[in-house]
Amino acid sequence: HDLSWISKIQVNHPAVLRRAEQIQARRTVKKEWQAAWLLKAVTFIDLTTLSGDDTSSNIQRLCYKAKYPIREDLLKALNMHDKGITTAAVCVYPARVCDAVKALKAAGCNIPVASVATGFPAGQTHLKTRLEEIRLAVEDGATEIDVVINRSLVLTGQWEALYDEIRQFRKACGEAHLKTILATGELGSLTNVYKASMIAMMAGSDFIKTSTGKETVNATFPVAIVMLRAIRDFFWKTGNKIGFKPAGGIRSAKDSLAWLSLVKEELGDEWLKPELFRIGASTLLSDIERQIYHHVTGRYAAYHDLPMS
């Protein structure tokens, strides 16, 4: 692989910002359509907890919520109770993978467990440790690994080194899906975001993901547009479809609809399935459930109407 062409890439910054404004100014879908789109959004969520105080019991609760994301009576009212609506995955720290696998097995469902790895969120640990972390998470039953790249390689233009590192992540994943977090808020420019996206896809990532959720700037539309264009270019060049996952700061039902329509417009309907689109979120599901409650009952839910599980 010759990566010399990477350094020649330039992204037209003002054009990207104009396109992002256009998307944000749109009115969202209404009424029945909105309820349908919100249920669709649920099926794209990687229901996530990445806190220092995660315990096996809150992982258990999270897994239960992943299997039953929307209250049964609300789904019945929409005639969607028998459609098997669950979130796309449960995403946790490596040390909690066993808990999640166990809880999902007990709940009798096969929702995948995703684990962050490679020195999340900073990626500043030794390569050897980062690779071992992937292998251990896979051994514990994670079928998707959300890795972080070493941002310094992007900031100093070491594209070969970045490619080689992600290749090694890919190998350590074995059969598991590789989702590569670019931490776009720390890459310095939209041009770097495009280059890092390309390298991540060339190196064998199944998904590229905007952020860890721990940076000061997380998923934004300008960054997403650049990543989606990179996915499209990569598809045209290779015929391979790579998935997209925005994460960090996506909290409202309205936001989730904007992300769905962005992907639909930039990549088309074929990308609107869990194999190619995920939303990384922890509090988003509660807001979607609130909106669906409102759609069904005509009033807003009190906090205790929609508990976490």
CATH number of the structural domain spanning residue 133: 3.20.20.70
Name the active-site residue from 65, 179, 195, 209.
Answer: 209
Q: Does the model's pTM come out above 0.95?
A: yes
- The answer to whether residues 220 and 228 touch, using CB atoms and an 8 Å cutoff, is no
Containing domain of residue 15, as a range?
Answer: 3-297
The single-letter code of the amino acid at 67 is: K
Any domain includes 258: yes
DSSP, res 145: E
Give the pLDDT confidence score for residue 220 in this predicted structure: 96
Q: Examine residue 221 and state whether it is found in any structural domain, yes or no.
A: yes
Over the range 100-132, which residues count as b (16 or more CB within 10 Å of their CB) and which as e? bbbbbeebeeebbbbbbbbbbbebeeeeeebbe
Which is catalytic among the residues 245, 254, 264, 273? Answer: 245
The predicted pLDDT at position 218 comes to 95
Residue 20, CA distances (Å) to 89, 121, 226 in order: 28, 27, 10
245: annotated active-site residue: yes
What per-residue confidence (pLDDT) applies to 309?
A: 56
In angstroms, rounded to a whole number, what is the distance separating the alpha carbons of residues 62 and 56?
Answer: 10
121 upstream amide cis, omega within 30 of 0: yes
For residues 131 and 296, give the distance between their C-alpha atoms in angstroms, rounded to a whole number.
48
Asked if the structure places residue 305 within a domain, the reply is no
**pLDDT recorded at residue 263:** 96
In a domain, 238, yes or no: yes
CB contact at 8 A, 141 and 174: no
Number of domains in the chain: 1
Average pLDDT rounded to a whole number, residues 69-73: 96
102 a catalytic residue: no
Q: pLDDT tens digits, residue range 180-201?
A: 999 999 999 999 999 999 999 9
Mean pLDDT of 30-47: 92
Distance from C-alpha of 66 to C-alpha of 46, rounded to nearest angstrom: 9
Q: β-strand 207-209 against 243-245: which pairing, if any?
A: parallel
Assess if residue 306 is contained within a domain: no
Question: Looking at the predicted structure, is the pLDDT value of residue 307 above 90?
Answer: no
Listed residue (235, 155, 230, 228) closest to 192, CA to CA: 155
Per-residue pLDDT of 144-165, as tens digits, reads 999 999 999 999 999 999 999 9
| Helix or strand run (H / E) with residue 116 | strand 113-117
Sign of the four-CA dihedral 153, 241, 39, 220: positive
169, 135 Cβ separation under 8 angstroms: no
Q: Which of 23-27, 52-56, 163-167, 250-254 has the lowest mean pLDDT?
A: 23-27
Distance of CA 96 to the CA centre of its chain: 19
Q: What is the pLDDT of residue 308?
A: 64
